[in-house]
Structure 1
Amino acid sequence: MPTMEKWMEHGDMPVMNRPETLRGQVESFLREAIMNGRFAPGERLVERELCEMLQVSRPPLREALRRLEAEKLVVIVPHKGPAVASLDTREAKELYALRALLEGFAAQEFARLASDEQIQDLERAVCDLHAQAKNPDRRALLVSKSKIYDVLLGGSGNSLISEVLQGLLSRINLLRATSFSRPERLAESLAEIDELVTRIKARDSEGAKEIAQQHIKNAESAALGMLDTNE
């Protein structure tokens, strides 16, 4: 069986900038595996198999599973044990409605308040996203898009929005991965983000809000289409 280090060598686990505990490494691997579709919604997470796969004991694995349960990526099924959470259409709609409100306001405030340097940081992050769009590794694409949100939220002048959205990050990434799975959605998404940057550079705060909210609505349509297909 490959060790945790071997998983990291092959790009299946994110390499962190600081040392992680064993529990943290297991948690990172499982989170990425769920968001990348390695473990499908509803799939059982058999502790014995995961321990053998990752060559870890049950205590750090169970700690990691508890953390992922708190993020609502894992559910504990009575008499069966842990399984990957499934998002139904109602939950997805609720999450996207919240995203549209928060991210629309964040884009509006970023266009109004961000420094020229922060806008340049946003442009660089978007350029990186375009580069990663050519990369077949979907995890790298999601990481790149997360960097855009880091810049956008950081320059919005409202730490509470960032705090709330960060709390939803894992589930948002799960839905984001779903919406990217429709082939044409990626090109559409890139065009929408480019338009958002154009509005921000023009300091068009209302236009930035409108584009950000439309971007979320389009992502919602794509993701719900995939959910309907899989249900």
Structure 2
Amino acid sequence: MNEHPLIARRSLSTELVGRLRDMIVEGTLKPGDKISEPDLCDLFGVSRTPLREALKVLAAEGLVQLNPNRGSTVARIEPAEIEELFPIMGMLEALAGELACARLTPEALERLETMHATMVRHWKSDEWIPYSRLNRDIHEAIFAVAGNATLSALYQSLLVRIHAVRFVARKSAERWAEAVDDHERMMTALRARDGAALSAVMREHLRHKADMVHEALRQLDSARA
């Protein structure tokens, strides 16, 4: 049975982007892999034109790298970039946490509580894709509560560069539990409106993510070798 059934024409563009994104998040398409357009066209029963449009969308998200005259590859981040970018992301998230604690409304806290509880249920059920989506949503919700458009714009510009590994690289069981514990501590700080505590947790959370990405890249390289 085909795990990727043919796509209805009426939702072609949106569905193709979603299907390809899931293949990357699931690890069917791995960082650094060359993307075979003919194979994907056969898999989904589409022509190259809508497929290439979908790849452009994923390139804008940072998940795909378009190489002129050489096709497309699944985006990959190098260790040096991790060391350069993740500390900056940590400082941006730390500042967003401080601002969010100062501006957090009961309604916003309730939304974050709901998102967090759902994310934890996905973790307990080993549901990586919905977990990773909610993980990103929670981080972005904290920036939204912070209410600083310039800070959010800086965050999004860097997030595109690291999205392919920050939310795609599959965590080990230990790293996954560590990430959930970080989020538990983030929620504790949010409930207390303790900006300093949340800032510290978010910086540590990004250090943990950097370590996880290094591990994921080493495992990927070992598997290929």
Asked if Structure 1 and Structure 2 have the same fold, meaning a TM-score greater than 0.5 normalized by the shorter chain, the answer is: yes
Among candidates 59, 79, 93, match of residue 89 of structure 1: 79
Q: Is 2:34 aligned against 1:4?
A: no
Normalising by structure 1, we get a TM-score of 0.83
Q: Is 2:38 aligned against 1:48?
A: yes
Match of 2:171 in 1: 181
CA deviation string 1:60-114 (max 9, x = no partner): 1111122323333222446542221221111222331232021111111111111
CA contact (8 A) 2:66 2:72 kept: yes
**Equivalences for residues 3-22 of structure 1 within 5 A:** 3-4=6-7, 21-22=11-12
Gaps of 5+ in 2: none
Q: Cα 1:170–1:89, aligned 2, differ >3 Å: closer, same or farther? A: closer
Amino acid at match of 1:66: K
CA contact (8 A) 1:96 1:217 kept: yes
CA distance in structure 2 between the partners assigned to 1:226 and 1:152 by the alignment: 26
Q: Cα 1:71–1:121, aligned 2, differ >3 Å: closer, same or farther? A: closer
Once the two structures are TM-superposed, the CA of residue 172 in structure 1 deviates from its matched residue by: 2.6
Normalising by structure 2, we get a TM-score of 0.85
Among candidates 124, 129, 151, match of residue 139 of structure 1: 129
Query: Aligned pair count?
Result: 216
Gaps of 5+ in 1: 6-19
CA contact (8 A) 1:35 1:174 kept: no
SS at match of 1:75: strand
CA distance in structure 2 between the partners assigned to 1:78 and 1:162 by the alignment: 31
SS at match of 2:76: coil
CA contact (8 A) 1:176 1:223 kept: no
CA distance in structure 2 between the partners assigned to 1:106 and 1:94 by the alignment: 20
Once the two structures are TM-superposed, the CA of residue 174 in structure 1 deviates from its matched residue by: 2.9
CA distance in structure 2 between the partners assigned to 1:48 and 1:113 by the alignment: 50
CA contact (8 A) 1:99 1:216 kept: yes
Once the two structures are TM-superposed, the CA of residue 164 in structure 1 deviates from its matched residue by: 3.7
Once the two structures are TM-superposed, the CA of residue 184 in structure 1 deviates from its matched residue by: 0.5
Match of 1:27 in 2: 17
Match of 1:14 in 2: none
Fraction of identical pairs, as percent: 25
Among candidates 206, 212, 217, match of residue 207 of structure 2: 217
Amino acid at match of 2:22: E
CA deviation string 1:119-173 (max 9, x = no partner): 1221221111111102233111112212312431221111333334345258436
Amino acid at match of 2:12: L
Once the two structures are TM-superposed, the CA of residue 202 in structure 1 deviates from its matched residue by: 1.5
Q: Is 2:184 aligned against 1:199?
A: no
CA distance in structure 2 between the partners assigned to 1:169 and 1:87 by the alignment: 11
Please report the RMSD computed on the Cα atoms of aligned residues, expressed in angstroms.
Answer: 2.2
- Segment drifting more, 122-131 vs 158-167: 158-167
